[in-house]
Amino acid sequence: MPRIPETTDAARSTGGPNAADAARAAGLLHEPILDWFEENARDLPWRRPEAGPWGVMVSEFMLQQTPVSRVLPVYEQWTARWPTPAALAADPPGEAVRAWGRLGYPRRALRLHAAATAITETHGGEVPEDHAALLALPGVGEYTAAAVASFAFGQRHAVMDTNVRRVFARAVTGVEYPANATTAAERRTAHALLPDDETTAARWAAATMELGALVCTARSPQCARCPVLAHCSWRLAGSPPHDGPPRRGQTYAGTDRQVRGKLLAVLREATGPVPQAALDAVWDEPVQRARALDGLVADGLVEPVADGVYRLPLTPAAPR
């Protein structure tokens, strides 16, 4: 059985396999992973042709740091209510925040609204196909730009989300987890593994993400179901546990973030402006409560109406 070569000294010094290693890995990994995807791809609404580029973009914003199962119902509501960027841009940003519901990170709703506005005003209402134009939109970073260009327009891009990074860390580099931040070595690996053909590359991006989401998971990976188990460098090395700095955790309890969430929940569920007293009720400590509210206002998620009265924003936030 052919296998991916042992990690070389050069690979260790650069934090990843060299181009030749990656090229060999590509020959071994492409077919099994693409075939596996053919059989195991989930039927997700944003993968259907009728989703279109706007549906893909909406899904990508919602899926940032948020599980598929929680996105599904909100995605259906959003795309039914706002089938085009222009439709979303025509409504107040606060409506986007309200419809975001409990997906979390509500600044994403604001940024998606701002992206819809930019698309309407400077791209004729059509989601741009160009990677650089996508990257320039609010809330669109390296991953989302590559994902929309790849999934909506079939272009050839290295799409590196947490799933893909983990799959490559294990299968190619031979470690359990990638580094906290994306490294240059990871980008080289991802590019070296990208199939030459545009259509195949786009499918490869979706396939590697799906493999990471369904089989090569962060905890308790289902290696017995893995199409490239025989070639996996991490597995061949004996599945060594993560060795290095701790993976970045997330604190939440007692933080401003928690208070912001409680405050915004009150405003989302209200039909109109909310008096200060209703907001004061959700958190006892006044200094932190005031700081959290100020932060929401500064972010454009909350708009002061009058003295001691607040609402979800009717107007876009002023640039800071």
Catalytic positions: 60
Binding segment for DNA (CB under 7 A), chosen from 28-36, 75-83, 98-106, 302-310, is 98-106
Q: Verify binding: residue 52, DNA, rule CB under 7 A.
A: no
**Of these, 1, 9, 39, 219, which contacts DNA (CB under 7 A)?**
219
Site for DNA in 165-184 (CB under 7 A): 166, 180-181
Q: Verify binding: residue 14, DNA, rule CB under 7 A.
A: no
Three-state DSSP string of 237-288: CCCCCCCCCCCCCCCCCCCHHHHHHHHHHHHHHCCCCEEHHHHHCCCCCHHH
Nearer to DNA, 81 or 102 (CB): 102
Q: Shortest gap between Cβ of 266 and DNA (angstroms)? A: 10
x/- letters, 104..133, toward DNA (CB under 7 A): xxxx---x----------------------
Binding segment for DNA (CB under 7 A), chosen from 77-85, 195-203, 213-221, 278-286, is 213-221
Q: Verify binding: residue 191, DNA, rule CB under 7 A.
A: no
Q: Verify binding: residue 212, DNA, rule CB under 7 A.
A: yes
Binding segment for DNA (CB under 7 A), chosen from 3-11, 56-64, 84-92, 230-238, is 56-64
Q: Verify binding: residue 140, DNA, rule CB under 7 A.
A: yes
